[in-house]
Chains A and B, each alone.
Chain A
């Protein structure tokens, strides 16, 4: 039995949906509305890894009694444990590149993209909610950083200066991806792998959130890469699971930015 707990197919939630469709895996979709904070009522708080949620929010995959969390490692798990099309590079060196990409982009895009997406789309929805009811939903959420990720959207933490800095800092990981794609169409060797799924799921919203950072003039290879991945049937199938019809407008907070500054 394979069950995926997810919200709208965007960013973290999109990754396993693509991988499961690439694998043509049979799974039970357990959809929740992250805009209504329904993820806090899933009842998995006794599982330490799921409770800690290294990305703070994101999908959970329940497979044969084991709860898999953290979207990049979930991709690796799907690639390794399920039959079907291989989503892993062949060589040890390309596997290193895949993992290094996941680690680097996980920290960079995994923090910056959700901040910008949440400010643009989630914050207005939260602001429209009854604050007392919202606080009641959040008050027992742990660890405290997960709770603070939401309250930060409402308390003025994200000043225009911080938003501008986040957009500016996006240029660094995007430039790395653009440079990597100069060597070939995929990020970790000669074939499509979970490194591409991982990057696509976070990058596809950047043209909307930071149009000066990703556009055909500045990052032609990234734009072609996004088109190339978007054309895959499994990606179209994953995006078609959206209930809103606009998954690219649904965000959850993500990885905490570096506390070193």
Chain B
């Protein structure tokens, strides 16, 4: 059965199943959904995922729409190297950190990202066109998010709090990686793939808070992941400058 993956850039939620599939050695048919053109709210895509969120994965007659549980499905359903630790305690830690990334770190980081990248990328279009695009969004929570991004409605207080949380979370992650080689503990897992999608560009977006001097363990962790063939393969699929930021993780030639 062919795996069909509907995704945007190798970044955040879209990149999570992309990287998991590549690490597992599962070939998939890629369907690029352009977030900035609102492809995810078009009727063809809504037939696959009525919520209009990306990514979505189709395997046989099964449809998967939640990116982190989707990663676990990839590990459970296909042959290939195990992407979860065998020890239940390490599996628990992997899951805890994925939720930390998904529900605490990512929303703040993405609010900053949407305010400086996604919003400006679509804001030039006529207001009527943007309003029509919002009206097509199925979920109320996504309509609110898109409206804020399109019309720059993030308050300075919201952005300040997001920056505080990003810096706080970066410190927590650095401390964790100082104690553990990988997110779950002793082996590379879905937790690292999740975290890489969230954080591969942290050294560029937060240069004062994530760099070789202040967060050496995060920097080394990101570089180790980017050196993996699966990460190289997936980030080469990127079409925008956003995904190209990963090249910052190349080690200097003399290193």
* Residues of chain A whose beta carbon lies under 8 Å from any beta carbon of chain B: 48-49, 52, 54, 63-64, 66, 68-70, 73-74, 76-77, 80-81, 92-93, 95-96, 99-100, 103-104, 107, 143, 172, 255, 258-261
Contacts and interface: CB of A to CB of B under 8 A. Distances in A.
B103 A107 contact: yes
Contacts, number: 91
A76 B100 contact: no
A77 B64 CA distance: 23
A48 B99 contact: no
B58 to A, nearest CB: 12
Interface stretch (B84-92, B199-207, B223-231): B84-92
B96 A70 contact: yes
Given A70-B95, A96-B66, 11 more contacts: A74-B92, A76-B95, A80-B88, A81-B89, A92-B77, A99-B72, A100-B66, A259-B108, A259-B162, A261-B144, A261-B148
A84 to B, nearest CB: 14
A259 B77 contact: no
By DSSP majority rule, is chain B's interface helix, strand, loop, or mixed?
helix
Contacts of A70: 95-96, 99
Interface string B63-95: 011101110110011000000000011011101
Interface string B87-126: 0110111011001101110011001000000000000000
B168 interface: yes
A258 B158 CA distance: 12
A8 to B, nearest CB: 24
Contacts of B172: 48, 52
Contact of B96 (A54, A81, A96, A260): A54
B73 A73 contact: no
B62 interface: yes
B178 to A, nearest CB: 11
Contacts of A73: 92, 95-96, 99
B181 interface: no
B103 A54 contact: yes
Lowest 9 CB-CB distances: which A-B pairs, in order?
A99-B69, A92-B76, A81-B88, A92-B77, A261-B144, A96-B73, A100-B66, A100-B69, A77-B92
